[in-house]
């Protein structure tokens, strides 16, 4: 596990610039995303079609973030096969350094479900959640994290990783 894959690091920002150019040219293709490249941690790659579907939903949030001029990240939260929370990054739009897509998706799910306990929920995000977002997922009791275009299994959220 390496900080280079945290969502606030440089590599995704470079990708954001490339993706924005491709978006403007109408050739945007998420499969070109370099996330996970070089990651040899041995995390299991989820093959379930549902995972793919929810990662695509997170990618829609990512596209929304780009359209709004924000950082290129998106996240969704799923319970029992249904999306119960979703959000793009709002760091720039809200001038809030804590408004990462994952934080916003957690807030959205808690509001929609009327509870701060998100047990039995799974979070999908377009990049590996940073330490802040993973800790928030831990406190929300989210069961499991998946990230990146190949829905890498990030396991259960924990505190103090990396």
Helix, strand, or coil here: 87?
Answer: strand
Is 102 a catalytic site residue?
Answer: yes
Which one, of 2, 51, 55, lies nearest residue 30 by Cα? 55
Q: Is position 107 an interface residue for Zn ion (rule: CB under 5 A)?
A: no
100 binds Zn ion (CB under 5 A): yes
What is the Cα–Cα distance from 158 to 64, expressed in whole angstroms? Answer: 28
Closest by CA position to 62, among listed 71, 73, 52, 70: 73
Q: Tell which one of 30, 133, 140, 145 touches Zn ion (CB under 5 A).
A: 133
Q: Which of 86, 102, 134, 150 is catalytic?
A: 102
Residue 7 CB, shortest distance to Zn ion, in Å, is 5
Asked whether 123 and 153 are in contact (CB, 8 A), the reply is no
Quick check: 76 binds Zn ion (CB under 5 A)? no
Among positions 66, 76, 130, 151, the unique one binding Zn ion when judged by CB under 5 A: 130
According to the binding rule CB under 5 A, does residue 63 interact with Zn ion?
A: no
Catalogue the E-assigned strands of 89-150. 121-125, 144-147
By CB under 5 A, tell whether 101 contacts Zn ion.
no
Residues near Zn ion (CB under 5 A): 7, 100, 130, 133
């Amino acid at each position: 596990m390496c900080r280079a894959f945290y969502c606030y690091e440089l590599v995704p920002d470079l990708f954001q610039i490339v993706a924005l150019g491709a978006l403007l040219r109408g050739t945007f293709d998420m499969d070109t995303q370099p996330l996970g490249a070089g990651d040899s941690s041995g995390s299991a790659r989820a093959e379930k079609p549902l995972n793919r579907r929810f990662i695509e939903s997170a990618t829609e949030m990512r596209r929304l973030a780009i359209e709004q001029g924000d950082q290129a990240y998106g996240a969704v939260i799923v319970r029992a096969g249904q999306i119960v929370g979703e959000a793009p990054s709002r760091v720039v739009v809200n001038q809030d350094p804590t408004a990462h897509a994952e934080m916003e998706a957690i807030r959205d799910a808690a509001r929609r479900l009327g509870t701060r306990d998100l047990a039995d929920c799974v979070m999908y995000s377009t990049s590996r959640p940073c330490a802040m977002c993973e800790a928030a997922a831990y406190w929300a009791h989210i069961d499991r994290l998946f990230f990146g275009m190949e829905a890498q299994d990030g396991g259960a959220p924990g505190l103090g990783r990396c």
